């Protein structure tokens, strides 16, 4: 049992579940269109929001795997001390960007809950529920930024 839990990654499972739900919904929508000549309007609303949530989680995975864009040519020409500083600066700026995004999204959620109380067009779900995915799933982004910085800094330490 312990061996099974060691490989468990919540972010991987959430992305897999989002993708599976999106595939099933899209398949059912195609079937309903061609068999019953009826389109399920709510499916678009669900798939778009699941895609956004999955993208936020995927950003964290990309950071963790160093799969994001970078100025590698300049980075490798820097001296070691400057490389370490640039890793720290880059990580702080990336985390700062997501803190700003989270701040504004939390403000938008608050506004939706208190002032606007808007509801989605198809399913009549409060819009703030869809918005909540960004700050909640940003946890994976911050973890990815931290793991990437830690791995890069330990690589530099090992090379020294």
pLDDT tens per residue, range 60-114 = 999 999 888 777 888 888 998 899 999 999 999 999 999 999 999 999 999 999 9
Number of Cβ atoms within 10 Å of the Cβ of 132: 17
Q: How far apart are CA 136 and CA 46, in angstroms?
A: 18
pLDDT, tens digit (0-9, with 9 covering 90-100), for 89-101: 999 999 999 999 9
The pLDDT, as a whole number, for residue 5 is 62
What secondary structure does DSSP assign to 44-62, as a single string? Answer: HHHHHHHHHHHHHHHHHHH
Q: Which domain covers residue 118, as residue numbers?
A: 2-159
What total number of domains does the chain contain?
A: 1
Per-residue pLDDT tens over the stretch 3-15: 556 678 999 999 9
Q: Which two tokens stand for residue 35?
A: 């068999």
Instruction: Name every residue whose Cβ is closer than 8 Å to that of residue 106 and which is 6 or more positions away in sequence.
Output: 135
């Amino acid at each position: 049992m312990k061996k099974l839990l060691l490989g468990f990654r919540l972010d991987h499972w959430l992305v897999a579940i989002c993708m599976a739900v999106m595939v099933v919904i899209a398949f059912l929508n195609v079937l309903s269109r061609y068999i019953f000549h009826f389109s399920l309007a709510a499916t678009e609303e669900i798939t778009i929001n699941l895609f956004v949530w999955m993208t936020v989680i995927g950003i964290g995975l990309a950071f963790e795997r160093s799969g994001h864009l970078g100025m590698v040519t300049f980075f490798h020409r820097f001296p070691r001390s400057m490389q370490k500083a640039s890793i720290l600066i880059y990580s702080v700026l990336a985390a700062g960007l997501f803190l700003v995004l989270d701040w504004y999204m939390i403000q938008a959620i608050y506004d939706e809950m208190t002032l606007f109380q808007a509801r989605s067009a198809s399913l009549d779900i409060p819009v703030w529920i869809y918005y909540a995915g960004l700050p909640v799933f940003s946890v994976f982004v911050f973890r990815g930024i931290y793991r990437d910085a830690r791995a890069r800094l330990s690589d530099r330490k090992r090379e020294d």
